[in-house]
């Protein structure tokens, strides 16, 4: 039954904003609905959504990047920034504590997958009648019948080699297989969150600007559990000491995601959601693929990795002065922390190489203005959603074909 409702919610979400959930299409209203139609009114608001760059603007941005990356940081200095990265982030949080970043209250709007399925239904029920929900549940029994995602149906059939009848049975048994997979993993020693039925990991939690909005939402989902980790021990202490921190539903720990051999406080293959927001950009490009590969192993079959980070030619990249470039599109700030600026293609390649299926991959372009100084600044972010495939085991396949032979 949970599978039915999960597909229902998925189809409802896609039905309401059909373009956002399909890779390559421009985002629609939920990502931002303030559209600049009259350039004369540009300074009437602080931010404008879905900005299209002119050829001149893009050429100017490209030229600026060529200029500020012409002189590279010395190799010995680059080694220092890599080897002492934790020191720089500890200093950052010692200075700024939890005052630098604002709480990410936009998370649930962009990533409703953070909610457990029961809460998703509850949220949808506020907007739609239960009759509408049930109708869509019947229509969306199998995700292959979701009308806005026909390309997934073809891909699934080609990769599995199953007929239509086998497809329908497979959608049910892959969910069953996923549940059995998790139960098998949880037979080992108890660990934080071992009794939960929905688990989230935020990588690079910082001072908790995502943690506490999520925990606030999960108050109505006691069987959910949030893990969060950070490279900086100072950041982890800020989260632990926060008045809203609840150890019964959250586990924060120090972790270097670049260290493949470093264990997590939970087994592989049990996470429903991984949140990777403005984190990967701070890691050396040569190590990014290894990080994504490792995180992929933590997801259960069907689990989602949610990504958002700096895009190429964001104002942050254009503001760097000459002498701060470490390598192509990778820079060091004055405080020793680093930032990389992604393209949509780079994001696609990285996550797909890790064995994840792309569900969303878009460039979010906005125009930020300083009305007092009459200054315009282009913001560029890349946002993606990537899912771990549901693979049928031999046991599940035997069950499916047994049912089909008796039908």
Model pLDDT for residues 241-258, shown as the tens digit of each residue: 999 999 999 999 999 999
Question: 118-168, pLDDT tens digit by residue?
Answer: 655 455 544 443 344 333 433 433 333 333 333 333 433 333 333 343 344
Q: Are 225 and 299 in contact (CB under 8 A)?
A: no
- Classify the C-alpha dihedral 306-362-24-60 as positive or negative: negative
Question: 297-318, pLDDT tens digit by residue?
Answer: 999 999 999 999 999 999 999 9
At 402, is the pLDDT very low, low, confident or very high (cuts 50, 70, 90)? low
pLDDT higher than threshold 70 for residue 321: yes
Q: Are 216 and 191 in contact (CB under 8 A)?
A: no
Residues forming a β-bridge with 305: 274, 386
Judged on CB neighbours under 10 Å (0-12, 13-18, 19+), 313 is buried
Q: Are 348 and 361 in contact (CB under 8 A)?
A: yes
pLDDT at 378: 82
Please state which of the ranges 47-61, 120-134, 154-168, 355-369 shows the lowest mean pLDDT: 154-168
* Percent share of the chain, pLDDT over 90: 47
Spatial separation of the C-alpha atoms in residues 208 and 212, rounded to whole Å: 6
Please tell me which residue, 37 or 191, carries the higher pLDDT value: 191
Q: Give residue for tokens 């609840």.
A: 246
At 60, is the pLDDT very low, low, confident or very high (cuts 50, 70, 90)? very high
pLDDT at 36: 65
Spatial separation of the C-alpha atoms in residues 199 and 195, rounded to whole Å: 10
pLDDT higher than threshold 70 for residue 117: yes
pLDDT at 141: 34
Q: Which residues of 183-192 are buried (b: 16+ CB within 10 A; e: fewer)?
A: eeebeeeeeb
Please tell me which residue, 120 or 383, carries the higher pLDDT value: 383
Q: Are 1 and 341 in contact (CB under 8 A)?
A: no
Residues forming a β-bridge with 267: none
């Amino acid at each position: 039954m949970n599978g039915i409702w999960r597909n229902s919610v998925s189809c409802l979400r896609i039905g309401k904003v059909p373009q956002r959930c399909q890779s390559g299409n421009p985002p629609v209203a939920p990502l931002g609905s303030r559209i600049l139609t009259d350039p004369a009114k540009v300074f009437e608001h602080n931010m404008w959504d879905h900005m299209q760059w002119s050829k001149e603007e893009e050429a100017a941005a490209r030229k600026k990047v060529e200029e500020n990356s012409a002189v590279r940081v010395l190799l010995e200095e680059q080694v220092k920034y890599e080897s002492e990265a934790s020191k720089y982030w500890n200093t950052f949080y010692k200075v700024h504590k939890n005052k630098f970043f604002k709480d990410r209250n936009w998370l649930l709007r962009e990533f409703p997958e953070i909610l457990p399925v029961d809460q998703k239904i509850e949220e949808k029920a506020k907007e739609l009648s239960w009759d509408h929900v049930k109708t869509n549940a019947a229509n969306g029994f199998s995700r292959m019948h979701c009308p806005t995602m026909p390309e997934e149906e073809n891909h699934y059939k080609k990769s599995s080699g199953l007929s239509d009848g086998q497809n329908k049975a497979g959608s049910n048994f892959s969910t069953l297989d996923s549940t059995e997979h998790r139960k098998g993993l949880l037979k080992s020693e108890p660990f934080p969150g071992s009794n939960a039925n929905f688990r989230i990991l935020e990588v690079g939690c910082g001072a908790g600007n995502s943690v506490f909005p999520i925990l606030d939402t999960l108050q109505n989902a006691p069987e959910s559990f949030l893990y969060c980790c950070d490279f900086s021990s100072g950041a982890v202490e800020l989260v632990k000491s926060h008045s809203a921190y609840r150890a019964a539903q959250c586990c924060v720990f120090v972790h270097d995601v670049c260290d493949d051999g470093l264990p997590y406080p939970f087994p592989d293959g049990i996470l429903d959601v991984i949140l990777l927001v403005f984190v990967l950009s701070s890691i050396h490009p040569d190590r990014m693929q290894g990080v994504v590969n490792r995180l992929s192993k933590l997801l259960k079959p069907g689990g989602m990795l949610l990504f958002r980070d700096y895009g190429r030619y964001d104002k942050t990249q254009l503001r760097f002065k000459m002498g701060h470039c470490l390598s192509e599109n990778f820079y060091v700030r004055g405080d020793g922390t680093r930032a990389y600026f992604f393209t949509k293609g780079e994001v696609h390649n990285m996550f797909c190489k890790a064995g994840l299926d792309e569900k969303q991959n878009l460039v979010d372009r906005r125009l930020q203005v300083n009305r007092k100084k009459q200054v315009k600044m282009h913001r560029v972010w890349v946002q993606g959603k990537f899912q771990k495939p549901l693979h049928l085991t031999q046991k599940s396949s035997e069950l499916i074909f047994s049912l089909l032979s008796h039908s």
